[in-house]
Structure 1
Amino acid sequence: MSVVESKVYVEYRSGSYWIANSRISLDSVVYAFRKGLSPESIVQSFPLLTLEQVYGAIAFYLAHRHTIDLYILEEEAAFDAMPQPLQTDQPILYRKLMSFKAQQENLGSEHSLPS
């Protein structure tokens, strides 16, 4: 009988979580999963990933949900704290984009999975 080795589907590099051997962030897969997309749909959105990689990333997320959710919140807070050129250059467009973002987040929370 041969011994099966486990695979690594997510790696931490340069201060962020990434799908192993790819340039696609774990965040991207997690956001899609939270929106209710199936692994098959996520693969369609990220054709460089295989179905196996997506399932592996989702399994990693579910196994480390608390840690990854905190990581994503910290990343979002850091991004929100960065000065946005549109905010000063085109404040009306910036407010419209922020309004749209808030609407999308509200829609996503209505379909999110319970923790």
Structure 2
Amino acid sequence: MSVPPLVAIVDDDPSMREALEDLVGSLGYRAVTFGSADDYLASPERKRVRCMILDVQMPGMNGLDLQSHLVETNGAPPIIFVTSYGDDTVRRRATRNGAVAVLEKPVQESAIIGALDTALGKR
């Protein structure tokens, strides 16, 4: 029996983390949540992460800087950004570093599902 993929959710908003965790779980994936980039980087779970849902604006290291760090250290799984700050500069930087999608809040569940399917090779 195969183990469902692990999706990391990194967002400083507890209600957003909970909503995304519920959605990810309803799709049959496992989810692990973090309130900051530093919490994610300190976690031993990150070695098992197959995809990330990542906020841009967070205290401390922001999502774009976390993405850059992960790319530089060859530790970047596919990343889906979900953000209130989806301007062209954010989109360019995120996609240049390999983001699967940059989705603006409030985001439709169908958009997240489609991005997860792409990130996890379902499409």
Give the TM-score normalised by structure 2: 0.25
Larger proportion of helix: 1
